[in-house]
Amino acid sequence: MRNSAFIQNLDIANVLKTELNSVKSKLSEEKRKNSDQQQYIQDLKFQMNHLESIISERDQFKQELENIRQQKEESASRINVQEYEHQIQKIQHNLDEEKKTVKMVQDLYYMRSTEFTDEIETFKNENSDLHSKLQIHENSIKQLTAELQNLRHENYMLSSSQNQQRPNYNNRHYNSRRGGRFR
């Protein structure tokens, strides 16, 4: 009966060890995913900074175009001014399209950053849940280890008391009463 309980405790310890390894594996996988997402956020920030520099350059270009238009208007004939105005309108239209694109990218960035923030919070919560489960498993492994030590001690005590109760067949007096070799 004790051996089956001992084996059952060993089976439980093996199951808990397997579960602990599984939890550790999941924890490292979540850390890797979190690091990948952090890298993606950094890439989006870099793209956002790049787009902001493009907007700044666009504003400077727009100002330069306005200055050129004014200079040309003052020095050129009426036909050239109309041509430049048409070009400026084209550029203005292109700039408006770029503004829309930049706005869309900014909105997308904001949306993705909030999604990542939510995912990071979720991973943090899952991580803390995994840590608490890991702590519970560690505590139960410690408890099972202590029980295993107690069972080993009981087994040792039982086996030593059984060895003391067995007759010693090498004893001459015992063998002489039984008709053994030493009479």
pLDDT (tens digit, 9 = 90+) per residue, 60-105? 999 999 998 888 777 755 566 678 888 999 999 999 999 999 999 9
Q: For 10-43, what is each residue's pLDDT tens digit?
A: 788 888 889 889 888 998 888 888 888 888 889 9
Distance in angstroms (rounded) separating the CA atoms of residues 131 and 125: 10
Q: What is the pTM of this model?
A: 0.31
Q: Predicted confidence band at 149 (pLDDT cuts at 50, 70, 90)?
A: very high
pLDDT for res 180: 52
Given CA atoms 19, 21, 25, 27 in this order, what sign does their dihedral have?
positive
147-166: average pLDDT: 87
